[in-house]
Amino acid sequence: MIPFSLILSIAFSFIWSGLIIGISFMEAWLKFKAPNVTIPIGLGIGKIVFGTLNKVEWILITLISICFFIEKSSINSACISFFLGQILIVLLQTLWLLPKLDSRADDYINGKSVVPSNLHLYYIFLEFIKLTLLIATGILLIKIIY
């Protein structure tokens, strides 16, 4: 019989992947194509959406951690390494990138001058790595079952 916590960790990995694809790679730039959405409005929406995504990611990290703890004898070192990579990326985003991006958005919304920055590129790069790690983790977890 397949352990329920293993099934949950697979589901959580792919749900998280879907959130990243839907939010980071679709919503983030599509909102600016909507009629009457100005850059300040789009930035305000982005702050809320990405702040919420970050909170949901910490919830998923907690849930996957619990599942991994329950199934510790089944989880291989590659899964754990990939998962630790995901945690490191979310930690970087939480403590460094999101606060910097939020501050820049606030400055722009409040009419202050904002100099060009590579912060968005760093965020996108980390999202690609995180998504790759999540998909790889999900696939490795499926291989544990089969």
Domain that holds residue 117: 4-145
Q: What does residue 129 show for φ and ψ, rounded to 5 degrees?
A: -65, -45
Domain count, the chain: 1
Task: Give the tens place of pLDDT for each residue, 40-89.
Answer: 999 999 999 999 999 999 999 999 999 999 999 999 999 999 999 999 99
pTM for this predicted structure:
0.95
Query: Model confidence over 19-46: pLDDT tens digits?
Result: 999 999 999 889 999 999 999 999 999 9
Other C-beta atoms closer than 10 Å to the C-beta of 45 total 16
Tell me the C-alpha distance between 128 and 146, whole Å: 27
